[in-house]
A and B are shown apart, each in its own frame.
Chain A
Amino acid sequence: MSDELKATPKAIAGPSNFLDERLGGASFLKRNMRKIFPDHWSFLLGEIALYSFIILLLTGTFLTLWFKPSMGEVPYDGSYAPLRGVMMSEAYASSLEISFDVRGGLLMRQMHHWAALLFVAGMMVHALRVFFTGAYRKPREINWIIGVLLLTLALAEGLTGYSLPDDLLSGAGLRITEGVAISLPLVGTYITFFLFGGEYPGEDVVSRFYSLHILLIPGIILALVTAHMVLMWVQKHTQMPGKGRDNANVVGAPFYPAFMAKAGAYFLFTLAVVAGLATFTQINPIWLFGPYTPADVSAGSQPDFYMGFLEGALRIMPPWEINLFGTSHAGTLPLSVIIPALVPMGIIMTGLALYPFLERWVTGDHREHHVADRPRNNPHRTSIGMSAITFYGVLWLLGANDEIAANFHISLNWTTYAGRVLIFVAPALAYVITYRMCLGLQRSDQAIISHGVESGVIKRLPHGEFIEVHTPPAEDIEAHMRGKTPVLMLPVAEDPAGIPPKGMRGPLGKLRALMSKAYGGEKIPLDDGHGHGDGHGDGHGHDEDEHAAIGSGNGSAGDDRSITH
């Protein structure tokens, strides 16, 4: 190659020198452009949320150019015929204007809404990936908490945005928000009056939510996203276990050019999915809902999917309330609203935020972790995760119980009764099933490590026995499986006098020891497959060069059974 091809072109060298001499970023860039990113499809899930957020900022800016955050009443005179002449708020009228009279307005509105759904959905699947691989462990707990905050803020951002067009459906959501706020003991009335500027619905809530939705919450989200990315960059991304990967290195492709190209492509994929959905699939058809009046409410009123679990909790809650001193004049504690509004959200969000610390408290694991766990290798964590997903899923499903009843011809009452049982039974079932599945998968790993992979070749031995030839697993697969490390356990063994170790005494200590014993430890050791570990074929009394065995259940001591087997 000639020098001419290797030299930086003048048009690039000139401005970069200019910038470098004044800002001095060259060494920073040189170091960081080669940053290594490990490669796994699930590592891209968080980017769905990131890119959806960028699309949200852009389409949202477009929408602000026409949207009027006012609850002043005007008669509609736009081009949607069935609403002409109807009195409505300026917010709703301007949303209709964006939908029908602004060129590209409906597409932008639909892109904004689809991107919002993908934003939250992307965060959820990303959080699940981080949870199930244990990527929240030291040193990444703070980034995990930032993630939980981001998810909470995204829900608030979704709620405020959903309320802005002031259509009948958003009004129904707002009414529930008001109901939850006013049900809080002591402060409820004050909070409601503060939020709505007086009696519900008042004339302020849309403009207040507008400020929150376009300024405050996205500002905080942007700041937290930045912190999330910087921390990820500084702490480096976790990697899946595999050949040559350990806690001290990162194996993957450099940021520039490989990872940058992939990230760029993935942004375009996200944009394509959002634009494609917005083009072909109608979302939030506000013109069908009509303007909001507190007197009207529609069948099928639902929140967007991420609020569905709260809706479901409200729907299955029995109508309990406590009247203080037996009279509603002295004050009512509406458990039927407070419990569903606060408890599931509290369990899920608090549980998410505290999990890294609870796990460390139970396992006593203070080590740094840069290699991800395979979900099967920490069966209790995976079971807790699946249990939480089931809990959330039952509530979410029950949030749509009217549509389920209407479309699948089931009695609405029975969906509610079933939900009240399932909310307790289903998570427990999910726990047990997941736990057994994890152990089963660990056993299958163990079988592969100790017996090899079924080759599909059946071999007949001289004395008539048939065996299937097993071949050793591919090197990379074996390395991936051998990335398993036992979950740490606290020193819980009692001393000869029967006294538990320090910190494991008292009721809390005993509970901790009990949990540690269950949670930690190696359940199915990879190389200790029921006595198979001492090599295969030797016990059979005939020499084989392949790794051969007669099915995983057959012990090496059982070779004399082989003919009748």
Chain B
Amino acid sequence: MTRITAWRRHPLARYAVLILALALVGMVYAAFVQVGKPADAALAAGKVDDVAEGKSLFIQHCGSCHGMSAQGTGTAPTLIGVGAAAVDFQMSTGRMPAAAPGPQAPRKPPANWVNETTTRQIAAYVQSLGGGPQVPGHEQVDPAMGDAGKGGELFRANCIQCHNWAGAGGALTQGKYAPNLNSSTPTQIYEAMITGPQAMPVFNDTTITPEEKRSMIAYITQVREQRDPGGFGLGRIGPVTEGLVAFVVGIAALVLAAIWITAKKRQKS
């Protein structure tokens, strides 16, 4: 009994209750919300709570770099007009909140306060600031509904310059890089295309239509799920690792074989 009382009077208890309540609200909301409806529909539907909650979360976790009203500072850009999709992408991939300044924020496990609810709330707040691209619905990113052949052509024409033919990633200038696409969810791939995170350009809906984006997602997910038919894939980065294996495995094995078959017993002198 006393332990529970102590917990109840703990200074963090009120926040825990608040978050529990929010989570409850979120779950109830998620149960009612229609599948495929953008998350920021909450805003349109008058869910002003999300915006308010999002604003307080934003001030706690994001404001120090992005400015208290998301206006941007010397260290981080303004978030007015980036849209909910940008927030969802950055937070769900763990890139934001950033751990350390650097050429590029890497993908990492999200901070422990980041979950679907807090992400949605901050997204709703940022969306309320100046609009922008919204989080796509499930159907919009469903790989099964895309045409992989068509998507592959678009992928080769638009993405592989940086992300490599198999989405294995590649280097950019000054320590920046195009990350590999192996752990990106279809939603994240879609969001990246419409928001252009970090060094990536924006591929808006007039450049690549939503259907074409879905086809590209179909190609990316098909290729990355494919078992390499020729054996171990060597990271799918091409001739660099192949050449390494030719020497480290091939030539080394043959040198050992040569030493073996020319070996002689030392004559006792």
Contacts and interface: CB of A to CB of B under 8 A. Distances in A.
Given A290-B165, A299-B171, A83 B254 contact: no
B242 A304 contact: yes
Interface string A283-318: 111011110010111111111110010000000000
A282 B238 CA distance: 10
A110 interface: yes
B116 interface: no
B75 interface: no
19 contacts: A39-B262, A41-B262, A48-B251, A82-B226, A83-B149, A114-B246, A117-B250, A118-B251, A169-B238, A269-B253, A282-B229, A285-B228, A298-B160, A300-B168, A300-B170, A303-B239, A410-B175, A413-B173, A474-B266
A551 interface: no
B264 A82 contact: no
A44 B172 CA distance: 43
Contacts of A288: 165-166, 223, 236
Given A86-B149, A273-B253, A300-B168, 13 more contacts: A82-B219, A106-B229, A168-B156, A273-B257, A278-B230, A279-B231, A283-B230, A290-B156, A300-B237, A304-B243, A405-B177, A406-B170, A413-B174
Contact of A295 (B157, B237, B255): B157
B169 A411 contact: no
Nearest to A311: B239
Nearest to B236: A288
B156 to A, nearest CB: 5
A537 to B, nearest CB: 22
A85 B264 CA distance: 61
Interface of A: 39-45, 48, 81-86, 99-100, 106, 110, 113-114, 117-118, 121-122, 125, 168-169, 262, 265-266, 269-270, 273-274, 277-285, 287-290, 293, 295-305, 308, 400-403, 405-407, 409-413, 474-476
B71 interface: no
B136 interface: no
5 nearest A-B residue pairs (beta carbon): A305-B243, A299-B170, A282-B230, A405-B171, A117-B246
A298 B219 CA distance: 16
A411 B175 CA distance: 4
Contacts of B163: 299
Given A48-B254, A269-B254, A412 B148 contact: no
B228 A282 contact: yes
Contact of B237 (A270, A284, A403): A403
A397 to B, nearest CB: 10
B232 A282 contact: yes
B24 interface: no
B256 to A, nearest CB: 9
Contacts of B253: 269, 273
Interface residues of B, number: 63
B158 to A, nearest CB: 9
A280 B239 contact: no
B173 A296 contact: no
A66 B120 CA distance: 56
A301 to B, nearest CB: 7
A260 to B, nearest CB: 12
Contacts of B175: 405, 409-412
A265 B263 CA distance: 14
Contacts of A125: 251, 255
B216 to A, nearest CB: 11
Given A39-B264, A48-B251, A169-B165, A300 B246 contact: no
Interface of B: 103, 148-150, 152-153, 156-157, 160-166, 168-175, 177-178, 219, 222-223, 226, 228-234, 236-240, 242-247, 249-251, 253-255, 257-259, 261-264, 266-267, 269
Contacts, number: 211
Given A281-B232, A282-B230, A299 B242 contact: no
A296 B254 contact: no
A266 B237 CA distance: 32
B232 A280 contact: yes
A396 B160 CA distance: 23
B223 A82 contact: yes
B243 A308 contact: yes
A216 B251 CA distance: 28
Contacts of B229: 99-100, 106, 282, 285, 287
A544 to B, nearest CB: 21
Contact of B233 (A117, A274, A285, A297): A285
A564 to B, nearest CB: 37
A411 B250 contact: no
B262 A262 contact: yes
A293 to B, nearest CB: 8
Contacts of A282: 228-234
A71 to B, nearest CB: 18
A299 B169 contact: yes
